[in-house]
Amino acid sequence: MRANAVPYGIAEVDAMQAVRHWVVRHAGLVERAYGALYAVLRAMGPLARAIGPTHLRKPVTGVERAVKGFLFDCRMCGSCALSANGMACPMNCPKQLRNGPCGGIRHDGTCEVDPALRCVHLEAWRGAARMRAGQLALAPTPPPRHERAGNSTWLPLMVGDEPDAAAESDVPVRPSGSRLEALFASGTFVVTAEFSPPDSADPADVFIRLDPFRGNVDALNVTDGSGANCHMSSLGVAVLLAQAGCEPVMQVTCRDRNRIAIQGDLLGAAAIGIRNVLCLTGDHVGKGDHPGARHVGDLDSHTLLATARQMRDAGRFLSGRKLSAAPRLLLGAAANPSALPLDVEIGRLRRKIAAGAQFVQTQYCFDLERLDEYMRRVRAEGLHQRAALVIGVGPIASAKTARWLQENIPGVHIPAAMVARLEQARDPREEGRRICIELIRGIRAIPGIAGIHVMAYRMEHLLPSIIADSDVLAGRTPLFSATSPIPDHRGQP
Ligand code: SF4
């Protein structure tokens, strides 16, 4: 059942989905009908004001709930985003994203959380293509105003009390002071890697894991409860990495914290000297080790980017309240060149960059042909000049692992020939390492790519030889040098 679902029966859910699909398929027609309805509602203004909003609230809300419930499976969020979302109600997304799809969409277009549902955001893209603008607007749909939940959005139209449209931000980008940003700006081919936080309160358990990365990476990207599992926080680990002389990239997901907590964390991170933040939606709580936890999803990756950008460049919280000192941050986002369809992926990238992404880190890329095609589209739009693209790679331990990755990590595509190579290899682990090296060389040859991001979960010991044999550092000393000091924290949790 849908994570945020009301308990409908299967037949009712099927019927609702059928109506929703019809609406999206006829989004152009519905847009025109909606425009006409809005004109009628506005024309009723004098009458509505004469009767008074207090008397109209209940009947208008009731009619709106019934009509929009039938047509759009509307949740009456009170911050209607139908017209901005291809006539697909984003509140039906189990992660409650206002902008999507998330990285979890399945290859057949169904939802990561509930495979019985078509991804509502894929529908939004399809619906938008049939509407006047032909695509979703670049500016992300703002987060909902939860205090308006259950309220009519028609009544404010009738009485002339419409909320102001959010102002477009054209404030200049403030420099972050990030060493990673300087490296991107210099045109150096950058090497980053994933760092998995321990299940421990001992800093030594962080420092001890740093050995394979020393002298091999420019920055380490710290996961934030990856797979919705509980570990040491990304903020805590990022601080420890900075103490060890490593440039950290702090992942921030929207799964566990609301907009108040996230903005506070961004200020705290910047105050400590963390300069790089990767803005993510995060896996659904149902996937992790605390499936009974509440999935927050107050922001999504797009609105998190826009919020962090507003804090940095305009010096204001999302609420508009002024900051006495703005955070200095380099903002990143995730992408997935292997997800289908490519048009939606490119559109998603375009929107994330417009929302504030300055670097983009991708999911694992095992298919160079597909990546080449993706990069052709990226270069055609000049997106690589607006954000540094860092491509995800990693060694695969065996054919069994390859199949597991395909089945369990959304959007991962491993060509059949690669799986066969692993299957036939005498030493599959070594073969996986060789494939990873070949991929790095192939990725480097594609124009417009700014670097690689190595994800070698539980195979971190292979990283030094992968970096050396691929010659990806080309003899230069990375930001996290082999001579960086090892802080002594043993026994100080
Ligand atoms: S795939 Fe992701 S974005 Fe799409 S409906 Fe499911 S949770 Fe939401």
pLDDT digits (tens, 9 = 90+) for 173-206: 999 999 999 999 999 999 999 999 999 999 999 9
Distance 157 CA to ligand 1 centre (A): 30
- Give the type of residue at 378: V
Is the pLDDT confidence value at 3 over 50?
no
Judge if the upstream peptide bond of residue 140 is cis by omega within 30 degrees of 0.
no
Helix, strand, coil percent content, the chain, rounded in steps of 5: 45, 10, 45
CB 92 within 8 A of CB 19: no
Q: Which of 24, 89, 95, 336 to mutate to test the pocket of ligand 1 (most atoms within 8 A of CB)?
A: 95
Decide if pLDDT at 423 tops 70. yes
Contact 220, 248 (CB under 8 A): yes
pLDDT at residue 220 tops 70:
yes
**Of the ranges 14-28, 139-153, 431-445, the best mean pLDDT one:** 431-445
Structure tokens at 147: 């205090």
What is the distance between the alpha carbons of residues 484 and 83, in angstroms, rounded to a whole number?
53
Phi and psi angles of residue 168, each rounded to the nearest 5 degrees, phi first: -70, 135
Q: Tell me the average pLDDT across 356-379.
A: 97
Residue 431 identity (one-letter amino acid): E
Ligand 1 mutation target, pool 98, 108, 113, 300, most atoms within 8 A of CB: 113
Cα distances (angstroms) measured from residue 489 to each of 7, 207, 238, 246: 51, 8, 15, 16
Ligand 1, atom 2: closest residue by C-alpha: 102
Distance of CA 48 from the midpoint of ligand 1 (Å) = 39
Ligand 1 atom 4 nearest Cα? 119
| Cα-to-centroid distance, 93 and ligand 1 (Å) | 5
pLDDT in tens, 137-162: 999 999 999 999 999 999 999 988 76
Residue that has been written with the tokens 């901005």 in this structure: 84
- Mean of the pLDDT values across residues 270-289? 96
Cis peptide before 197 (omega within 30 of 0): no
CB under 8 Å to 218, separation ≥6 — which residues? 179, 180, 183, 190, 191, 192, 247, 451, 478, 479, 480
Q: Does residue 177 come out as left (phi exceeding 0), alpha (psi in the -120 to 50 range) or beta?
A: left
CA-proximal residue: ligand 1, atom 3 (nearest): 101
Longest dimension (CA), the chain: 83
Contact 482, 214 (CB under 8 A): yes
Q: Which residues contact 369 (CB under 8 A, 6 or more apart)?
A: none
Question: What pLDDT does residue 6 have?
Answer: 44
Please give the DSSP secondary-structure letter assigned to residue 190: E
Cα(354) to centroid(ligand 1), Å: 21
3-state secondary structure of 300: coil
- What's the pLDDT at 484? 81
Give the binding-site residues of ligand 1, using a 6 Å CB cut-off: 93-95, 97, 100-102, 104-105, 111-113, 119-121
Choose the weakest-confidence range: 135-139, 257-261, 276-280, 307-311.
Answer: 135-139
Other C-beta atoms lying within 10 Å of the C-beta of residue 19? 15
- Cα of 113 to ligand 1 centre, how many Å? 7
Say which residue, 406 or 16, is predicted with more confidence.
406
Domains of the chain plus CATH, in order, are 10-159 (no CATH), 179-470 (3.20.20.220)
